[in-house]
Amino acid sequence: MKLMYERDLSPMKLTSLNGVRQNAAAIALSKRLGISRQRMRKILIAKCDLITLENLGSRYDAAEIQAASDEIGNALSLHHLSTAAGLLSKERADHYRALAQEKEADLSDIRRAILEEIS
């Protein structure tokens, strides 16, 4: 079937991500998660819509402000993933927060689980 209305938007999304502020936010996100920039871009292109990508810069700044007063959220980048990029739903973010608070959990394990969930 020829899809008239739905087409592959990846090139357009990549153009959006190449914007100065958007690129800086994507690089900052990839550094937080400890993955390569290319992989971060792939995740963002697959999961986000175009307007979220355009607004990534200001959302990232807002997430930084939120994370400043939240130690666990900052360590797991929960605000950056849920508020800024919308990769993680609020419920899942709370779930991971509870996991981290529960026992003397290894944060790196939870980080790995988060990364698996979003990619």
List residues binding other proteins (CB under 8 A).
4-5, 7, 9, 11-12, 15-16, 19-21, 49-52, 54-55, 57-59, 61-63, 66, 83, 86
Residue 66 and residue 97: Cα distance in Å, rounded? 15
Nearest approach, Cβ of 16 to other proteins (angstroms)? 8
Residue 116 and residue 55: Cα distance in Å, rounded? 24
Nearest approach, Cβ of 57 to other proteins (angstroms)? 7
With respect to other proteins, which residue has the nearer C-beta, 10 or 36?
Answer: 10
Contact 74, 67 (CB under 8 A): yes
Nearest approach, Cβ of 106 to other proteins (angstroms)? 29
Contact 79, 73 (CB under 8 A): yes
